Structure 1
């Protein structure tokens, strides 16, 4: 409940509450809102904390920051304030708490993340990004890569107005989706497109084989999807005519097979309820289920002969009151 913890609303709507969740629903940031809304309606949700295996901490801080609702210092202070009011966070050291950071900045949006939520489960679409820090906040052993948010109109199922062209009738060998951003590999690809305008186009096509050109990329749901079945990953150091030659050498029937396998898992990129047979939330629940612990403890958690959990002052867990020292 956003009213239960002092400061949580600031992380959702800004210091004066002027930022609406709908304003944060657009673009890449939208995943933080969609996951929150879908969890509120999830069949796995419980309102009894003692029954919960995992705890979701809602926050729209990327959007709130970009829209001027909080600055970096305020975000940091507010996160610490919120966490200090959560007894279950202290009980486990945050190991059973889930945070969403929906951009390349990742958990670095919370400057003190490494101190306070370094044990928590972080959901992020870009595990290879560091936001100009020394290291990425993504940890492959505990965190989960989620699909980046796209407009709902692009992920609707059912009949479509435009059907993809058969491979034999397609004019271009490849199209580019991304931005240059002064990255050497991307700039080389753009230069390649200028040299071979009949081979590379930039508008997005309905169906194709993804060719991944980011060496450090982390991909969504790697415990669920075998990406060798649905995509190609090519070294960024070898972007040149040899890439086009390689792509052109792949027989159409092989491309059709790869595209067909991609169709089967495309639904995992759709932010739909976990009640759907295939959706982002369905895959996310499967991943989260693997992270459920039978036992919880932290440096500030102790237990006695009768199984009761106590703090350093031997106060029973049920009587822990905010503000609590953070583990």
Structure 2
């Protein structure tokens, strides 16, 4: 009996151990199962949060600071419904250092109403329109003013054309600009917090931020006090101290329609035959004793006409001609003498159409010098050296004209002076953004981050 019972005891022990092991196996299985469920739940939670955050609309810009102003909040919420079309390739961080610009949606009297005159968007001062339009399609533009580094104030001051001579009249410019600043300072907090130092304006007429067409009056008036802290994009620029650049500024090119350039080049290729040696078409006074002759162009154009008017090497014309770009593309040298101001639209047209610009405007500051190799694509002749102009051009033609033309005909060079809509990589608006990205020390957002 004793011998028969021992195996039963061993067997019972074996059964108990097996049951115990089975329970442990089940426990481990359930433990692993619960761990997997927990891991999956946490992962799903974070993934869902990421998707929600990524697709969150920018309408959150109506923050608590606007809670005391219903009109301001409504204005911002309304502007946030505008759909900006960004380019597919985001190059903002690479080229513009992550810079963001907020474009104020001003009442139409400051900009859109002026477009009823078609010339407003095509004449030589139209950079104010072109930059505004290009920014609305730029990847640097943000709908959230709280994340902006700069604030663009779109005011068109050059579209008030005189009924007497058809030229832009800017006598209203100061009051219109002041009114726009009053508009943004009352409805938004951003102007007052920086006193306008991170706000950007365009002044694309003769003497830029002085808002006058005559230099003596412009210098006497100077830059209006309400603009002195801001950034002004202006066509005017000289290398010496001048009241009309007594403000943070970027020199920009005057506006020339890229479509008109393209149409001209389709008819006459850039590298085609150039049978005109030296070209100029524009205002040249025959009688230097009248007011224009005494002051306009500092008599430089009058001297050119007197010296070379009968010279067969020079193709000089004093009257307007709508198809004058067809003459530029046939020319080797294009004279770019100063007018009322040092700059001239001929500079852009000459470069765009492959004619070597001959700059006759002492101490002029040229646009985008960090990008455009002006010394390699143009000639500079002193205003008091007109008598030697013919000899200078003949010498260049006999020595390094081909080299200059090769540099000039580079696509990147020509593109940098033209405003496109939408903006293209390397074009004039692109260069403006690059220039602004170098002024990010004026950004309230950046300074706030740096002090934290």
Output the TM-score relative to the length of structure 2.
0.56
Alpha-carbon separation, structure 2, partners of 1:80 and 1:39: 19
Aligned match of 2:108: 9
Where does residue 315 of structure 1 map in the other structure?
none
Whether the 8 Å contact between 1:127 and 1:136 is mirrored in structure 2 is no
* Residue of 195, 198, 217 corresponding to 2:364: 217
Which has the bigger relative contact order, CA under 8 A and spacing at least 6? 1
C-alpha distance after superposition, 1:212-264 (max 9, x if no partner): 00113221112222210111111001101x21012101245621211121122
Which structure has more helix as a fraction of its residues?
2
Distance 1:178 1:142, change over 3 A: farther
The answer to whether structure 1 residue 285 and structure 2 residue 433 are counterparts is yes
Range with bigger deviation, 225-234 or 287-296: 287-296
Query: Pairwise CA RMSD of aligned residues?
Result: 3.5
Q: Secondary structure at the match of 2:201?
A: strand
Larger radius of gyration: 2
- Say if 1:283 and 1:91 are closer, same or farther in 2 by CA, change over 3 A: same
Measure the CA separation in 2 of the matches of 1:295 and 1:198.
53
Cα distance in 2 between the residues matched to 1:277 and 1:7: 27
Report the equivalent of 2:376.
229
SS of residue matched to 2:441? coil
How big is the shift at 1:12? 1.6
* 1:254 maps to 2:350: no
Tell me the distance in 1 between the aligned counterparts of 2:185 and 2:238: 30
Q: Distance in 2 between matches of 1:68 and 1:214?
A: 24
Q: Is residue 81 of structure 1 aligned with residue 198 of structure 2?
A: no
In structure 1, the partner of 2:141 is 45
Say if 2:323 is the partner of 1:175.
no
SS in 1 for 2:367: coil
Number of aligned residue pairs: give it: 289
Cα separation, 2, equivalents of 1:195 and 1:161: 29
Cα offsets for 1:65-124 (capped at 9, x unmatched): 758898357425514422532421222222211100111042223978431111211111
**Within 2, Cα distance between the matches of 1:246 and 1:126?**
27
Q: Which residue of 1 aligns with 2:289?
A: none
Distance in 1 separating the partners of 2:378 and 2:252: 17
Distance of 2:228 and 2:197 partners within structure 1: 9
Name structure 1 gaps, 5 residues minimum.
298-302, 308-327
2:254 corresponds, among 140, 148, 154, to 148
TM-score norm. by structure 1 comes to 0.75
- 2: CA distance, partners of 1:50 / 1:224: 31
Counterpart CA distance in 2 for 1:69 and 1:186 is: 25
Look up the match of 1:191: 306
1:263-302 matched pairs, under 5 angstroms: 263-264=409-410, 265-272=413-420, 276-293=424-441, 296=444
Q: In structure 2, list runs of 5 or more residues that go unmatched.
A: 1-74, 80-103, 163-167, 213-220, 285-291, 318-323, 330-353
Q: Indicate yes or no: 2:229 matched with 1:115.
A: no
